[in-house]
Each structure stands twice: as structure tokens, then as C-alpha cells.
Structure 1
């Protein structure tokens, strides 16, 4: 069957359905369809509520992770400042140390000569 024939068949079925719906001698009973649609709507509403709960949980976890990351970053930065300050103090104390340390920088042979 070629596509135009399939389109004609589909169109014919639709036209028959419309004619049946408009005929006065055949009452239209849509209660089954309505009940099915109401059931599907209820399922979709339940699924939407479940998704909302899931998204809320994800947001909560993301907030917790963000707070923990901020706290870890602050601690790392504080540690970094403490280490840098300690290094500066150590360097300052080394430069202010015994001036005879310059002797140690001379080669051994020169230090041994009178």
C-alpha cells in the first residue's frame, strides 16, 4: 500500500469516528476514557511530587556540600597564612643570627688559611 492510500485510510477512519460521534442515534460514552485520563493525571501528579521531593533533597545536599567546601577553604587559607608567617619569622631570625655565619660561606680552604 502506498503512503497516499494509507493517508486515505486514516482519514476515512477519522471521518467515520466523527460521523459516529455526531450521530444522534449512537450515544457517546466517554466515562471509561475520562476515568483512564483521571488515573493518568493522578499518576503524573504523584510523579511530579516525587520529583519535587528529589530536587529538594539534591538542593539540600548541594547546600551542605557548599558549606563544607567553604569551611575547608577557610581552614586551608588560614593554614597557608600561618605557614607563611612562620617562614617569614624563621627567615628574619636566620638573617638576624650570628654575623660570623658569613665565614661559613667562604670555601673551606680559605677558612683554614691563617
Structure 2
């Protein structure tokens, strides 16, 4: 026997009521979950910005250390040229030092016996 139209209408009304009730119950859960996800995304974005800043600082420090090491090496080579008279003055590295480096080398020439040992320690360190 086929279902009557009035039974079908009743079932559809009940089904719609159940769907509305379920949709209303799930809505706050979805909103809470969405809020939680938005908060986590904001925290992750802040962490990424902090890491990028940290990495930028490390790169800047590395660049500074590299410049200082290059300058120290130029000074050490200038001292070595001043201390070691057997080395030809036309060395390819001779033209690389600045006037300040040459002045430092001349100033340290008086410490020749100890400068050679310091130079060797510097080379070993580098």
C-alpha cells in the first residue's frame, strides 16, 4: 500500500525539524573551532615573523664577523710582510691592504719576535 500524502508531509516536517536542530547545535561548535583555528594561525604567523627577525639578526652578525675576520687577516698579512724581509714586497696580497692596515702593520713591526707567533696562532685559528 503506497504511503499517504499526509504521512509523507508529516515525515518531511519532522525531518526538517531534526535538520534544523542539528544545524543549530553544530553552529556554535563550528564557530568555536573556527575561532580556535584563527587564533592558532595568528600565533603561527607571529612565530614566523619572530624567526625571520632572528635569522636576519644572525645573518647581520655573520656578515659583521666575516668583515672583522677579513680585516684581521689583512692586518696579519701586512705584519707578516713587515716582519719577514725575505718575502718579496710585490706580493699579490700587498695591494689589498688599506692605509690603516699598513699603519697598523708598521706600528706592530717593533713587536716582530712576538708578532710572528701571534700571526701563526691567528692563521691556526682561522
How would you bin the TM-score normalised by the shorter chain? 0.5 to 0.7
Instruction: Tell whether 2:56 aligns with 1:70.
Output: yes
TM-score (norm 1): 0.61
What is the CA–CA distance in structure 2 between the aligned matches of 1:67 and 1:83, rounded to whole Å? Answer: 24
Q: CA deviation at 1:98?
A: 5.2
What is the CA–CA distance in structure 2 between the aligned matches of 1:98 and 1:37, rounded to whole Å? Answer: 89
Aligned match of 1:79: 65
TM-score (norm 2): 0.56
Size of the aligned set, in residue pairs, is: 82
Give 5+ residue unaligned stretches, structure 1: 1-15, 103-114
Give 5+ residue unaligned stretches, structure 2: 88-126
Instruction: Tell whether 2:24 aligns with 1:38.
Output: yes
SS at match of 1:90: helix
Structure showing greater radius of gyration is 1
Aligned match of 2:37: 51
Instruction: Tell whether 2:78 aligns with 1:92.
Output: yes
Question: Runs of 4 or more off by more than 6 Å in structure 1?
Answer: none
Larger relative contact order, structure 1 or 2 (CA cutoff 8 Å, min sep 6) = 2
Aligned match of 2:118: none
